[in-house]
Structure 1
């Protein structure tokens, strides 16, 4: 995976060349990713769905993250990112099922790791029963949902804990209903600007 080739860009989205995934993250080259957020209106409230990253993941294990996401390889277009939804969640969608929220920049930083992403962001806002998910064990260990309004309050610091509900999968892939109190530190630390732009785009979609 670290040897996969990705297209590289400058911060404004101008093509520069290609580099391996390892080099891209080591040197901080801008590159393309596919992000698909699941949301659903239940009653009068909108909810956002997060994947729980597997404990086997090298980066950010066990944290809540975008419902499905992945890198776009050098020979692919952003439309090929649909494979991430199928691979990670076992949910097969078509482009017609999604709403485009545009390209939104995001940067994730940790020691020896600089992930500068030009994110092609999409929204899926239809109901999917939890028993329809077939999670990729090495990537995803559960699906949790939070109220959108509570998530916004959590991310902005207006509240310190919110409820997340959904399921976690055991090693045998058994889905166990789960209800947790989570803090901002339980989520992958995406840039505030990315999260706020995604939320605003969701509201306007």
Structure 2
């Protein structure tokens, strides 16, 4: 199977080439990504949704992360990348339904599948107020292990260091033809999240309060 190709950029934002995904993460080339954070209003206040990354992911497997996100493939624009929401969560979304929350420069290193990676991204971040219950989502099993929601104010308290864990409800992804996943209760701690900068998480969370 041919490998996905990414456009790579210099520090001035100029495209300098197109490179296979593995090489991008092995050598730490700067590339672009799309982030979509989903929140919903409930009788218990505003909730925020996190996806759990599959254990097969090439960066931070098994960690909790943005509701839906993905790299821009070669030749794609940010508007094209809105496809990630439907691919990962089974929910069709138009770009004009999203609210821009700005751009975040991201850098992280780690090891996954026995390989060291260097992940350098310019992340185009969006928010989406969508009042759907967890059971309305159809998760992409290859990418998403589960989908979880917790109180937005709880998430802010967690990343501000005021509490050690937060209660959450979740669903697991299921194979095609299997029965619908049942909602279960759990708790989340900081160590389970992809290590974006805490201040970046908090800037996004506080912006999501205003959607």
State the SS of the aligned residue for 2:61.
coil
Distance in 1, Cα, partners of 2:88 & 2:190:
23
Match of 1:195 among 162, 181, 201: 201
Q: Which residue of 2 aligns with 1:184?
A: 190
Distance in 1, Cα, partners of 2:196 & 2:12:
19
Match of 1:143 among 129, 144, 147: 147
Deviation, 1:159, is 0.9
Q: Following TM superposition, where does structure 1 have runs of at least 4 consecutive aligned residues deviating by more than 4 angstroms?
A: none
Distance in 1, Cα, partners of 2:65 & 2:165:
16
Deviation, 1:170, is 4.3
Q: Which residue of 2 aligns with 1:91?
A: 91
Verify the 8 A CA contact 1:70 1:81 in the aligned structure 2. Answer: yes
Q: Which residue of 2 aligns with 1:119?
A: 123
Q: Deviations over 1:72-96 (max 9, x none)?
A: 0121101111111111111101112
Verify the 8 A CA contact 2:140 2:173 in the aligned structure 1. Answer: no
What value does the CA root-mean-square deviation take over the aligned residues? 2.1
Q: Does 1:132 align with 2:139?
A: no
Q: Deviations over 1:50-105 (max 9, x none)?
A: 11222333432332111111110121101111111111111101112111112211
Gaps spanning 5+ residues in structure 1: where? none
- Greater shift, 120-129 or 192-201, is seen at 192-201
Verify the 8 A CA contact 2:47 2:152 in the aligned structure 1. Answer: yes
Distance in 2, Cα, partners of 1:201 & 1:107:
22
* Inter-CA distance 13–173: structure 2 relative to 1 (3 Å threshold): farther
Q: Does 1:25 align with 2:25?
A: yes
Distance in 2, Cα, partners of 1:154 & 1:173:
33
Verify the 8 A CA contact 1:108 1:191 in the aligned structure 2. Answer: no
Matches within 5 A, 1:22-101: 22-43=22-43, 45-101=45-101
* Inter-CA distance 25–173: structure 2 relative to 1 (3 Å threshold): farther
The two structures have a TM-score, normalised by structure 1, of 0.90
Deviation, 1:204, is 4.7
Distance in 1, Cα, partners of 2:185 & 2:174:
15
How many corresponding residue pairs?
Answer: 205
Deviation, 1:133, is 1.1
Q: Which residue of 1 aligns with 2:8?
A: 8
Distance in 2, Cα, partners of 1:51 & 1:71:
16
Distance in 2, Cα, partners of 1:124 & 1:9:
28
